[in-house]
């Protein structure tokens, strides 16, 4: 585990702990309880996946989420044009 990954996981722990503390102090049915719950979920995801969350968000924002599908489609088209290759 790299230092950067460890920092992301530590940030997840801090976010989750702060959200749990916020829920503890706002137990009276306040709307802040829902926000704290959502922050706790974000913190848990960061604790589990670390820096991969940031990489996935960056890829999604820049349009790279369809890269694998585009490569696969292009390979399938190329395979259809080549009569010497056997398709499985």
> What CA–CA distance (Å, rounded) separates 43 from 35?
12
Q: Is there a domain that residue 63 lies in?
A: yes
The token pair at 71 is: 């490569």
Which pLDDT tens digit goes with each residue over 22-46? 888 877 878 888 888 899 999 999 9
Q: For residue 59, name the pLDDT band (cuts at 50, 70, 90).
A: confident
Q: Is there a domain that residue 88 lies in?
A: no
Q: Is there a domain that residue 87 lies in?
A: no
Domain with 54 in it: 3-81
Single pTM value for the model: 0.62
8: CB partners within 8 A, 6+ apart: 46, 50, 51, 53, 54
> What counts of helices (H) and strands (E) characterise the chain?
4, 0
| Domain count along the chain | 1
Q: Is there a domain that residue 7 lies in?
A: yes
The pLDDT of residue 82 is: 66
Q: Is there a domain that residue 15 lies in?
A: yes
């Amino acid at each position: 585990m790299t230092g950067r990954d460890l920092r992301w996981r530590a940030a997840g722990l801090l976010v989750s702990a702060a959200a749990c503390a916020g829920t503890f102090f706002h137990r009276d049915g306040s709307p802040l309880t829902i926000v704290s719950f959502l922050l706790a979920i974000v913190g848990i995801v960061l604790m589990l996946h670390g820096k991969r969350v940031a990489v996935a968000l960056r890829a999604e924002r820049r349009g790279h989420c369809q890269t694998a599908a585009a490569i696969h489609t292009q390979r399938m088209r190329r395979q259809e044009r080549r009569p010497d290759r056997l398709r499985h």
